Amino acid sequence: MAELFTLFITAVLINNIVLTRFLGLCPFMGVSRKTSSALGMGGAVTFVIFGASMFTYALYHLVLNKYGLQYMDLITFILVIASFVQFTEMIIKKYSPALYKSLGVFLPLITTNCAVLYVALDNIKQGFDLIETIVYSLAVPIGFTLVLYLFSAIRERLDLSDVPAPFKGNAIAMVVAAIMALAFGGLAGLV
């Protein structure tokens, strides 16, 4: 239990997918102007990463590993993630228009999010069992959502601040992201 908790905290804070691993930067920069859209994106990413990780984990251990096709993990996982996002969008369109209205626009963006593929591959590379995969696959997108929300809150305030003209927009956002990365780097000795 302690190991699972350590794994969770490590994935959320210390080895944060955005500020430490520098993955998922496209949605991090592009969907962080408002806290509402940041939360929506975070929720969608959480769902896709968890679902795709479960599918890819099962596929790897039940098919690829069993038939000696481990070398095909990369291309297979890409196709699984893309298929899962298409399936999810289709189900949401049909059965939950309200959910589609809030999250639907984000789903195509998540298909190409490298963080999703990273989690799927890392579950295999780290040799996690099923429980560890579940914990890790939940912790990483929770860390992503946390950082995205914090970043969006800062950017909302920056938009109202007197930022020098050359730094307006993405430039000051990059500076803020760098400072946040330094701050999260200070958590390295926590666990």
Partner 1 sequence: MPGLLFLAAMGGLYAALYYFNHKTPIPAGCEVEEVSCHGCSISSCGKHPSQNYTLEVKQ
Residues near partner 1 (CB under 8 A) are 26, 29-30, 33, 63, 67, 69, 71-72, 75-76, 79-80, 82-83, 86-87, 89-90, 93-94, 97, 100-101, 104-105, 165, 169-170
Looking up tokens 């189900």 gives 91
φ/ψ of 147, rounded to 5, equals -65, -40
Please tell me the distance from the alpha carbon of residue 68 to that of residue 72, in angstroms, as a whole number: 9
CB closer to partner 1 out of 4 and 109: 109
**Min separation Cβ 126 and partner 1, Å:** 24
CB closer to partner 1 out of 64 and 140: 64
CB closer to partner 1 out of 10 and 76: 76
**Min separation Cβ 181 and partner 1, Å:** 17
CB closer to partner 1 out of 11 and 64: 64
Question: Which two three-digit tokens encode residue 12?
Answer: 């959320």
Which amino acid is located at 158 in the chain?
A: L
User: By the 8 A CB rule, do 45 and 24 touch?
Assistant: yes
Per-residue DSSP letter, 133: H
